[in-house]
A = this chain, B = another copy of it.
């Protein structure tokens, strides 16, 4: 794979001088066009030490308007980063739409280095690379342009380059002992990175291998490639998106998973009071134990309007100290959130270690309200299932306890509650005309909910279905499940 980048390609000074000014102007202009575009550009820089990665990034900052260009490098993670899944540090600096983010060292660095140093074997590397592919696919599915450069040098060329840098007093500081140590591992590094590139050169985000020996060749190649890719992507993004296909009406008589729930289950006031005290007491002990072990929990509540999610949450929180939990009500995204991938707003809310975060509605909006109301295109919500499963797997792998609740009532019960809200002055604000409009789409929502549960109930993050026609029964069931799951994990 790397042989084609060992051909000793060069560009003469004259050719460089002839091409550079126009390339710079074109890059500046395309950056202007990009500002209005509906996608971000993510440029990954990887490769052999001494192959000109740093110089190239600096050159791009010189050529382009550095105010709309951000370069991120990743050293050892901070303690705030260590308390979240590894991907968090990348999500938090993803460029918004219209901007360019350069990732100097990226999600590839740690897996490749781990494999080179034998901390993981090649099969484990493959597993990590598969996750990376899924991540990049999510970004590019959302419109992001991902440009991946691998800077290559032959062994001979790398040695020469390191020696050259070491001899010049102006550049000596850039060659460290670590660089020479890495050089000794050239062959291993080459084998591992070849594997990594092979496995992750996907249609959406292929690698471009850049011969690093000649800096003029390297610079022009990289500049032209970026220009072309952005031009192509801009052109493609202007084509009209497929309009959502006509929605099929869900046959009302189809028998679904949610239909199997026994909504008549209920509790007497007396029993409820007893059990509430019992489980809140249990939860208090368990969550404090979890806190000492730095175990974080994320609770997700989805369900029908007026299903009682809020009341349920208010029965869970009194068992915990207000300092230890946070409730995130999910409403319309802010404009900073709209300029990012739809999962970004959830990534940014991930709790520090040992805390409990409760989402009142969640990322599942993508396959519920956004699907039914047509805010997301069919291809968008369809691929969301696997994106969500990937996201939750990252939480699970990091050791975060994830609990998902579907709070279920039937249509009659919902109408009763709507009427009660309308007739109770202090609950009035909770009911709007939109609630009644949504009711008319009950069948569509039911179809969406069933499909969601079917496609996102995983072993590591199952859905808990809560029969909630009786609020008391629902609250106790959710509390009990939270307790039991915590207990199992401790």
- Seen from chain A, the residues whose Cβ lies within 8 Å of a Cβ on chain B are 25, 28-29, 32, 54, 57-58, 60-62, 65-68, 70-73, 78-80, 102, 104, 170, 173, 281, 288, 310, 313-314, 317-318, 321-323, 326-327, 329, 334-336, 360, 426, 429
Contacts and interface: CB of A to CB of B under 8 A. Distances in A.
Given A66-B314, A71-B322, A78-B80, 6 more contacts: A32-B429, A57-B322, A57-B323, A58-B321, A73-B323, A79-B79
Nearest to A83: B78
Contacts of A71: 322-323
Contacts of A170: 281
A59 to B, nearest CB: 9
Contacts of A72: 323
Contacts of A323: 54, 57, 71-73, 104
A277 B134 CA distance: 46
A158 B72 CA distance: 52
Contacts of A61: 317-318, 322
Nearest to A72: B323
B326 A54 contact: no
A167 B72 CA distance: 54
Contacts of A60: 322
A332 B104 CA distance: 29
Contacts of A67: 310, 313, 327, 329, 360
A417 to B, nearest CB: 17
A326 B69 CA distance: 9
Contact of A66 (B68, B102, B317): B317
Number of copies: 2
B426 A28 contact: yes
A478 to B, nearest CB: 16
Looking at A28, A60, A66, the one whose CB has the most chain B CB atoms below 10 A away is A66
Contacts of A313: 66-67
B32 A326 contact: no
6 contacts: A25-B426, A58-B322, A62-B318, A66-B314, A72-B323, A335-B335
A407 to B, nearest CB: 15
A62 B317 contact: yes
B310 A65 contact: yes
Contacts of A80: 78-80
Contact of A334 (B66, B314, B334, B360): B334
A65 B430 CA distance: 12
Contacts of A426: 25, 28-29
A68 B328 CA distance: 8
A335 B331 CA distance: 15
Contacts of A322: 54, 57-58, 60-61, 66, 71, 102, 104
8 tightest CB-CB pairs across the interface, nearest first? A73-B323, A71-B322, A67-B329, A57-B322, A67-B327, A61-B322, A335-B335, A334-B336
A329 B134 CA distance: 33
A126 to B, nearest CB: 29
A314 B62 contact: yes
A89 B334 CA distance: 22
B327 A54 contact: no
Contacts of A288: 173
Contacts of A62: 314, 317-318
A322 B66 CA distance: 9
A313 B62 CA distance: 10
A57 B322 CA distance: 7
Nearest to A58: B322
A331 to B, nearest CB: 10
A132 to B, nearest CB: 22
A56 B353 CA distance: 25
